[in-house]
């Protein structure tokens, strides 16, 4: 299990949401990248130095500090879409190899390299920027049906990471709430919502949404 690449965004216009810019265009960088806990959502801050988000209402902050996606899932999409998909093209900060990112448990912790520890917090929900960026009509529906969303993570222990760093799972909580389960419950299978409350590490705003929708 390792990092194939560490990807940082290049700001570009965002005509798909009517915002001044988007940070979805993430490219692999060489050398170490500093990782630290950002401020709360609303500032545009994220966990990787040199990166940020521009849709500050919906992205960034403590619980969406780092976004990870598996190279294996990119390869599956690459075959289905019939086009090459470079590391970072889904807007992910970390492109991993050998990790079941969608099968990761909420609250699961990964040590990356010697210092950094990240904790799985929630699933990525696709938006209009993602669809426009990939230039695929119906992409949101297709991505949602596949339930391979990738994982948002919070920063537990800061430090530097680099492409090629080993990834070790150092903690797995005692429940069965995976990233994929959260995504399915929040999108097409709301009957699964009550199961999500077993995951203490789910972000507070998502817990509140689950309670409201389950009432």
Q: What is the pLDDT of residues 41-96, one digit of tens each?
A: 999 999 999 999 999 998 999 999 999 999 999 999 999 999 999 999 999 999 99
For the chain, the DSSP string reads -EEEEEEEE--EEETTTTEEEE---EEE--S-EEE-----TTS---SBTT---S-TTTS-SGGGSEEEEEHHHHHHHHHHHTS---TTTTS-SEEEES--STTPBTT-EEEETTTEEEEEEEE----HHHHHHHT-TTHHHHHHHHT---EEEEEEE-EEE-TT-BEEEEE--SS--BHHHHHHHHTT-GGGGGGGGG-TTS-HHHHHHHHHHH-
pLDDT at 109: 98
pLDDT at 18: 85
pLDDT at 215: 80
Low-confidence stretches of the chain (pLDDT beneath 70): none
Query: Residues of the chain with pLDDT > 70: what percent?
Result: 100
pTM of the model: 0.96
pLDDT at 190: 97
């Amino acid at each position: 299990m390792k990092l194939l690449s560490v990807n940082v965004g290049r700001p570009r216009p965002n005509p798909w949401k009517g915002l001044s810019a988007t940070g979805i265009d993430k490219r692999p960088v060489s050398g170490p990248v500093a990782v630290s806990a950002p401020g709360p959502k609303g500032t545009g801050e994220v966990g990787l130095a040199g990166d940020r988000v521009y849709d500050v209402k919906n992205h960034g902050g403590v619980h969406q500090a780092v976004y990870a996606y598996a190279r294996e899932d990119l390869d599956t999409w690459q075959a289905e879409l019939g086009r090459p998909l470079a590391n970072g093209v889904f807007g992910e900060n970390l492109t991993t190899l050998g990790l079941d990112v969608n099968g990761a448990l909420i609250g699961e912790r990964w040590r990356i390299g010697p210092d950094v520890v990240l904790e799985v917090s929630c699933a990525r929900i696709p938006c209009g920027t993602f669809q426009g960026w990939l230039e695929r009509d119906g992409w949101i529906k297709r991505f949602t049906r596949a339930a391979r969303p990738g994982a948002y993570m919070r920063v537990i222990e800061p430090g530097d990471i680099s492409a090629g760093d080993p990834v070790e799972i150092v903690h797995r909580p005692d429940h069965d709430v995976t990233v994929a389960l959260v995504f399915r419950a929040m999108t097409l299978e709301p009957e699964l919502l009550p199961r999500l409350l077993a995951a203490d590490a789910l972000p507070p705003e998502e817990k509140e949404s689950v309670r409201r929708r389950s009432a």
